[in-house]
Amino acid sequence: MGSEKKVNMEVRLGPLTLRNPVLTCSGTYGFGEEYAFYCPVDKLGGITLKGLTPEPRLGNPPPRLAETPAGLLNSVGLENPGLEEFCQSYLPKVRQLPTTVIANIAGFSLQDFEIMAGAFQAGCGVHALEINISCPNVKQGGMHFGTHPDSAEEVIALVKAKTNLPVIAKLSPNVTDIVEIAKAVQRGGADIISLINTVLGMKIDVEKQKPALANLVGGLSGPAIRPVAVRMVWQVAQAVNLPIIGMGGILTWEDAVEFMLAGAKAVSIGTGNFINPLAPLEILEGLEEYCQRHGYASVEEIVGLALPKKEGQGS
Amino acid sequence: MLDKAIIVAHGYLGDEKYQIRRLVLKTEIAHQAQPGQFVHLQVAGGIDPLLRRPLSIADIDKERQEFTLLYRLKGHGTQVLAKTKVGESLNLMGPLGRGFSLPAQGELVLVAGGIGVFPLLPLAKEALEHKLKVSLYWGGAEAGFFASAGLEYWQKTGIPIRFSTMDGSMGSKGDVFELLQKDFAQNKFAPANPPAVAVCGPHPMMEKVSDYFLRLGARVEVSLEERMACAVGACLGCVCTLKDESTGKLRRGKVCQEGPVFKGEEVLWDYGQ
């Protein structure tokens, strides 16, 4: 590859520029230190922190995990140290991470989102805010905000008014029409859309004759949901004018390319880290080689190539 | 670390009916392994099964750079793992987690329920190297089980072993907790010099044994098991509930990273609710 031209891997997602398009998903990468031994974060486009709420949460009781064909069900239930403890004990370390850091915030009321958004401003140590309006594992709130267009718009507008950081709306796939929600968060002022969160699912232990998860239901991730995620990215890319971070079962560079061809400007690795801690690095290398092989000077050139051509567009 | 380990032995440990297999791997990881730690093993290259499997380290041979994993064929993951052969390699992460700690001096009592005995052998060996007095209490379903779960390796250590079986076919009839209660009621240890106790087995058994020895003033460590995904403390899938000793406040502990070995007094036994 030595003789071939270097590919520009930088991607611009509205107000957020990433050194490359490979991120890690919230809830799969802790607060950025856990995988550092295996995968140096300075190589990544960025990382997304575990979801945070104003108050500390113990989350759901175990068992929280159940394996399914090519998939993983989880019901962690937003366990997190809470805003105050995060700022005291974690943020000083997060600030030192040599990569773009996205904080993920969740809440159970509009007020929660207001508090969380207000706590994160430019210069605070994180570079963007991902708004979790799509968590399936808490009884109230969370996904509720992401399954109704009006409330999705309201939450995003509120968050936008409280923070000067780029705002990423994380969408739930557990909706009738993802496009409707995507348009709503665009109206609310979101800078970026990330999708998909986990797909609501369930597993029953046939010997115990009861649900495998203590929380009864959970969110499905892993390759099993990838086709759903690709389809939704493809739909949303055609319906809104916002940059998209695509996620859902990405294990290899081929998977990442698939999302980018469907219209994602960046991709995020979640469950894939559990299978192969080197997955983000290998995906990054594979993406670059793919671009070289196809003669692209910039990785951004492949974004949306599989989308239908708009009228009036050349070739 | 992440490594490819070569399989140097793989087969049934004893009578096939107990479905316990022995897997010996050659890897540098053996050098760093501590008693009570585990490795996170990719049992197949593809997506079936999707997740790695955590297996506790059952024996460590630092000179030969080998360690042993013992596992019972139970679900799909172990069925796939059982098909791997000598000479093939397995991708693994490890050694992971916080293992057992050795008391500075005195006596170490090991208590095992069934295959919970597996992570205790490296601890016994290390304790013997440190000239500690070690004994094992081991409960099983029936006499035939022990020989198929590594009894010969334990016999080589020369430590005293007390058995209990549910059907009374070997040792004391009943569970291992009943046996302990009988023994320690008769031979109370000196309060000034309580033993250290390491327990591994089904959670209800560990709860009883841990509470019993804590009441007697012993230092107790328990090795927990929970379903895992990342095994590095990132996903929060494998939690247990811990209580802060001074404040009594509850918090979640990560079995993969803070454990799998915890102090008996900090674990809140809220499993199987």
Q: What is the pLDDT of residues A68-106, one digit of tens each?
A: 999 999 999 999 999 999 999 999 999 999 999 999 999
| B29-69: pLDDT as tens digits | 888 999 999 999 999 888 999 999 999 999 999 999 999 99
Chain B, nearest residue to A250 by Cα: B47
What are the catalytic residues of A?
Answer: 135
| Nearest-angstrom CA–CA distance, A283 and A252 | 6
- Cβ partners under 8 Å of residue A20, min gap 6: A9, A10, A11, A44, A45, A284, A287, A299
Is some CB atom of chain B closer than 8 A to the CB atom of A214? yes
Asked whether the beta carbons of residue B235 and residue A27 sit closer than 8 angstroms, the reply is yes
Instruction: Please give, rounded to a whole number of angstroms, the shortest distance from the CA of B238 to a CA of chain A.
Output: 7
pLDDT at position A175: 94
Chain B, nearest residue to A51 by Cα: B235
Q: Which residues of chain B form beta strands (DSSP E)?
A: 2-12, 20-26, 38-41, 53-61, 66-72, 89-96, 107-113, 133-140, 161-165, 172-173, 196-200, 219-223, 239-243, 250-254, 261-263, 267-268
pLDDT at position A137: 59
Q: Residue B207's CB: how many other CB atoms inside 10 A?
A: 19
| B68-100: pLDDT as tens digits | 999 999 999 999 999 999 999 999 999 999 999
- Mean pLDDT over the full length of chain B: 94
Instruction: Please give, rounded to a whole number of angstroms, the shortest distance from the CA of A186 to a CA of chain B.
Output: 30
The mean pLDDT value for A191-205 works out to 97
pLDDT at position B273: 44
Is some CB atom of chain B closer than 8 A to the CB atom of A38? yes
Give residue B271's pLDDT band: very low, low, confident or very high (50, 70, 90).
Answer: low
| Res B160 pLDDT > 60 | yes
Nearest to A278 among B2, B77, B235 (CB): B2
- For residue B109, list its beta bridge partners: B135, B197
Helices and strands counted in chain A (H then E) = 10, 16
Asked whether the beta carbons of residue A59 and residue B238 sit closer than 8 angstroms, the reply is no
| Res A48 pLDDT > 90 | yes
The label of the residue with tokens 């996205």 reads A102
Give residue B188's pLDDT band: very low, low, confident or very high (50, 70, 90).
Answer: low
Give residue A1's pLDDT band: very low, low, confident or very high (50, 70, 90).
Answer: very low
CA A110 to chain centre: 21
Asked whether the beta carbons of residue B51 and residue A61 sit closer than 8 angstroms, the reply is no
- Mean pLDDT over the full length of chain A: 94
Of B160, B157, B243, B227, give the one whose Cα is nearest residue B195: B160
Give residue B248's pLDDT band: very low, low, confident or very high (50, 70, 90).
Answer: confident
Nearest to A275 among B51, B226, B237 (CB): B51
- Beta strand pairing status for B161-165 and B133-140? parallel
Chain B, nearest residue to A59 by Cα: B252
Instruction: Look at A271-280, A299-308, B77-86, B178-187 and tell me which has the smallest mean pLDDT.
Output: B178-187
Asked whether the beta carbons of residue B232 and residue A277 sit closer than 8 angstroms, the reply is yes
- Integer angstrom CA distances of residue B237 from A11, A67, A238, B34, B97: 32, 12, 36, 23, 15
What kind of fold does domain A11-302 have according to CATH?
TIM Barrel (3.20.20)
Contact A270, A28 (CB under 8 A): yes
The mean pLDDT value for A155-181 works out to 97
Of B75, B74, B67, give the one whose Cα is nearest residue B99: B67
Contact A85, A32 (CB under 8 A): no
Of B99, B95, B162, give the one whose Cα is nearest residue B126: B99
Give residue B244's pLDDT band: very low, low, confident or very high (50, 70, 90).
Answer: confident
Q: Tokens in use for B68?
A: 């042993």
Q: Which residues of A10-81 form beta strands (DSSP E)?
A: 11-13, 16-18, 22-24, 46-48, 65-68, 71-74
The mean pLDDT value for A156-172 works out to 97
Residues shown for chain B:
273
Which residues does B contribute to its contact with A (CB < 8 Å)?
A: 1-2, 42, 47-52, 77, 93, 226-241, 250-252, 257, 270-271, 273
Give residue B272's pLDDT band: very low, low, confident or very high (50, 70, 90).
Answer: very low
